[in-house]
Amino acid sequence: MSAIDVRDLLKLAERSGSLTPVPAPLALDHAGTGEVAAADGMPVPPPRSAWLSPVVLTGCVRLFEFCGLILLGLALHQVLLRGIVPLAPRYVTAVLAVTVAALGLFQASGSYRMGALRDLSRTAAKLATGWSVAFLMVAAAMVLGKIADHYSRIWLLSYYVAGLGVLLAGRTAVSAFVRTQMAKGRFDRRTAIVGGGPAAEELIQALKSGGDSGLRIIGVFDDRGDDRSGTEVAGYPKLGNVSDLVTYARHAPLDLVVFTLPISAETRILQMLAKLSVLPVDIRLSAHATKLRLRPRAYSYLGDVPLLDVFDKPLADWDIILKGMFDRLVGLLLLLALSPVMLAVAVAVKLTSPGPVLFRQKRYGFNNELIEIFKFRSMYVDLCDAGAAQLVTKLDARVTPVGRFIRKTSLDELPQLFNVIRGDLSLVGPRPHAVQAKAANTLYDQVVDGYFARHKVKPGITGWAQINGWRGETDTSEKLQRRVEHDLHYIENWSILFDLKILLTTPLALFKTDNAY
* Selection from 225-229, 246-250, 265-269 with the highest mean pLDDT: 246-250
Distance of CA 437 to the CA centre of its chain: 27
Residue by residue, DSSP assigns 15-49 as HTT--B--SS-EEE-TT-SS-EEE-TT--BPPP--
410-461 pLDDT, tens per residue? 888 999 999 999 999 999 999 888 777 666 667 777 767 778 888 889 999 9
- pLDDT score for 337: 94
Burial class (CB in 10 A: 0-12, 13-18, 19+), 259: buried
Q: List Cβ neighbours of 336 (8 Å cut-off, separation of 6 or more).
A: none
First to last CA, the chain: 37
- DSSP for 40-64, please give it: TT--BPPP--SS--HHHHHHHHHHH
Judge residue 504's burial from the number of C-beta atoms within 10 Å of its C-beta, 0-12 exposed, 13-18 middle, 19 or more buried: exposed
Q: Is 331 helix (H, G, I), strand (E, B) or coil?
A: helix
Residue 401 vs residue 210, higher pLDDT: 401
Q: Percent of the chain beyond pLDDT 70? A: 80
**C-alpha to C-alpha distance for 253 and 244, rounded to whole angstroms:** 14
**Rounded mean pLDDT, 80-108:** 91
Cβ atoms of 505 and 465 closer than 8 Å: no
β-strand 189-194 against 256-259: which pairing, if any?
Answer: parallel
- Please report the DSSP string for 469-489 in residue order: T--S---SHHHHHHHHHHHHH
Highest mean pLDDT among 79-93, 286-300, 358-372, 491-505: 491-505
* Residue 474: per-residue pLDDT: 67
- According to DSSP, the residues that pair with 190 across neighbouring strands are 216
Range in 138-152, 172-186, 224-238, 414-428 with the lowest mean pLDDT: 224-238
* SS3 label, residue 362: strand
Q: Among the ranges 293-302, 354-363, 434-443, which has the highest mean pLDDT value?
A: 354-363
Which domains are seen in the chain, by residue range?
54-183 (no CATH), 187-311 (3.40.50.720), 318-509 (no CATH)
Q: What is the DSSP string of 145-194?
A: TT-GGGS-HHHHHHHHHHHHHHHHHHHHHHHHHHHHHHHTTSS-EEEEEE
Q: What is the pLDDT of residues 371-385, one digit of tens each?
A: 899 999 988 887 776
Rounded-to-integer distance, Cα 375 and Cα 83, Å: 63
Q: Tell me what the pLDDT averaged over the chain comes to.
A: 81
